[in-house]
Amino acid sequence: MPCTHINHMSDEDVKSWLNSFDTVMTDCDGVLWVGAEAIQGSPQVINRFRELGKRVFFVTNNSTKHRREYKQKVDTLGFGGDLDEIIGTAYLAASYLEDCGFDKTKKVYVVGSAGITQELDDVGIQYLPIGAESSSGFNLETINDSRLNADQLLDRSVEAVILGFDGGINCWKLMMAASYLANHNTQFIVTNADACFLRAGLILPGTGSMVAAVETAAGRKPIILGKPNPLMFEIVQKRHPSVKPERTLMIGDRADTDILLGKNCGLQTLMVGTGVHSLEKVKDWETSTDSEEQRLVPDKFADRLGDLLDRIKDL
Ligand SMILES: [Mg+2]
């Protein structure tokens, strides 16, 4: 199916499209805001969706914040919404362990930030303190250092490793994570596998780069919780059983996470051009012979989410 640009839709088409969904799941960075600034028009469209009776969920692969921090951000930037409408991957990681009955006398080794440990606190799961390790790591000359000893370093009550974005990742943390994962009963959970972010001409390594390092050292594949894993939608459905995939619109700026999540769950999809992927990319995928690339094509495209406002304000 080719992608339809909203500018090429008649008012009648926009109206029937709008009536075809009653739940909106939206990515945040690149759709609603960039950094600390709301993208012009996005708050008004989200609020208009609510006025039209649609339920809105914010879904983000970012693992660095507790939902409370997102709540503050959506309030400050004028999007509104309740805490339970915010699904981040730190929350997802804690919910995942809780849902699979993680033994609360055991612990989690976390590579990541306080967003994850605060969510673990909420479900009563214990963890080792983040960043308590040597920040100097080790080098191959001192590899016979007597400190490097599993009996001394490893806490035998650890039964899961959660890996999220960690700006202070180092060889020591990689060693600890890989060593815990040598026990195949230890669960290996990663919040997301986003490769990188682009900012001002720089490539900032994302969680996916850190996942690759741990995965290589441990020789194991993790469970990746974030988009495009259907878990992100499944948790919304579990909490709100009335949500129907075919009547849910997934909005995103990135095809291989946001749009693919939509495709993986049977949702409708809308891509906006204010973030990672452009309309030109969509055109390339439309004509690609690679079926994986064809799956990245969204149903609809808007240059900005705010462009919808004019089309839906009088409905
Ligand atoms: Mg995004």
What residues does the ion ligand 1 have nearby, CB within 5 Å?
A: 27, 29-30, 253, 275
Q: Convert the pLDDT of each residue in 160-194 to its tens digit.
A: 999 999 999 998 899 999 999 999 999 999 999 98
Average pLDDT over residues 250-274: 97
Ligand 1 mean position to 65 CA, how many Å?
15
Q: Which two tokens stand for residue 147?
A: 């400190």
Ligand 1 mean position to 29 CA, how many Å?
4
4-61+228-312 adopts what CATH topology? Answer: Rossmann fold (3.40.50)
- Say if CB 89 and CB 226 are below 8 A apart: yes
- pLDDT given at position 134: 64
Q: Phi, psi (5° rounding) for residue 23? A: -125, 140
Ligand 1 mean position to 276 CA, how many Å?
7
pLDDT at residue 268 is higher than 80: yes
Nearest to 165 by CA among 204, 203, 219, 127: 204
SS3 state of residue 213 = helix
What distance lies between CA 185 and its chain's CA centroid? Answer: 26
- pLDDT given at position 196: 86
Active site residues per annotation: 27, 29
- Say if CB 251 and CB 282 are below 8 A apart: no
Q: Which two tokens stand for residue 154?
A: 């490893």
Are domains 4-61+228-312 and 92-224 of this chain identical in fold?
A: yes
The span from the CA of 225 to the CA of 235, in Å, is 11
Q: Can you identify the CATH homologous superfamily of domain 92-224?
A: HAD superfamily/HAD-like (3.40.50.1000)
Sequence ranges of the domains in the chain? 4-61+228-312, 92-224
Q: Mean pLDDT in the chain?
A: 93
pLDDT at residue 138 is higher than 90: no
Average pLDDT over residues 268-279: 95
Ligand 1 mean position to 106 CA, how many Å?
34
pLDDT at residue 137 is higher than 90: no
Ligand 1 mean position to 32 CA, how many Å?
9
